Amino acid sequence: MFSFLKLKIGFQLVKTRLVVPLGVMLALLLLLAHGQTSREEACRRIGHEDHRFIVCTFDTRQADLRLFWQDPEGKPYGGFSPILTELRAKGETLAFGMNAGMFDSGLAPVGLYIEHGHMVRAANMRNGPGNFHLKPNGVFYIGAKGAEGKSAGVMETSRFLKSGLAPDYATQSGPLLVMDGTVHPKIKASGTSEKIRNGVGVRERHIVVFAISEDPVTFFAFASFFRDQLGCPDALYLDGSVSNLFVPALERTDDWSKLGPIVGVVEKSKQ
């Protein structure tokens, strides 16, 4: 890719008969190379306390983050491949994807779900069994606009509902892993249940951090990773056991489990 860019730039300079100082040319080529490297390094592998994770970090002011659930005919996508096909028809592609919240047997979101600013599913405030109902649970939202520009966040569910925020996208899941810098009170270091888990954290209102474990981890190890290693004061558990990841740059294109809501980063297709 880098060689192609050099050839293309050289061709354009000859075509327009511009004379560019060598230093300027080198600076331009380094800038292009850095941009390519930055995209490739959005996702990376990180070790933490004898566990391995894949972490993907995006700035909402630059990355096009979206949620996906149903296709134009109202059928759940169920995985990354149908989304990729639909985007390709529009000249776009999926650079990153991950399951984004718990769902029922029909692949419908269990709790609040907002897409393109429209509330498709209302918030679920009921008590019940399972991780979703291990309160406090929370909402991950994208696209709440304000003085600081397009932002994102993870917020306790009742607090989100009272906030008056009207984001472009939102998904409810649970439990909260970290809230205001503190691990969920019911997540104990003594816990022994280990699973492949994925979640999302937000810092500085614009930096969204997704993580998935590459080996089974406890809830406490996963929550501590978000707080201590990734520096996220607020983080939300998305799911376990069904956790899927789509990152072609890391040769991860999971499709072994049907999914409900999906979060993805959309880019223009490379010509």
Nearest to residue 137, comparing CAs of 171, 108, 104? Answer: 171
CB 86 within 8 A of CB 269: no
CA atoms within 13 A on the CB side of 202: 19
pLDDT score of 144: 73
How far, in Å, CA of 242 to CA of 254, rounded? 10
- DSSP bridge pairs for 205: none
pLDDT in tens, the chain (271 residues): 444 444 444 434 434 444 445 554 444 444 444 433 344 579 999 999 889 999 999 999 999 999 999 999 999 999 999 999 999 999 999 999 999 999 999 999 999 999 999 999 999 999 999 999 999 999 999 987 665 667 999 999 999 999 999 999 999 999 999 999 999 999 999 999 999 999 999 999 999 999 999 999 999 999 999 999 999 999 999 999 999 999 999 999 999 899 999 999 999 988 6
Alpha-carbon distance of 90 to 69, in angstroms, equals 18
Are the CB atoms for 198 and 211 separated by under 8 Å?
Answer: yes
What local confidence, expressed as pLDDT, does residue 149 receive?
64
Q: What is the pLDDT of residue 36?
A: 39
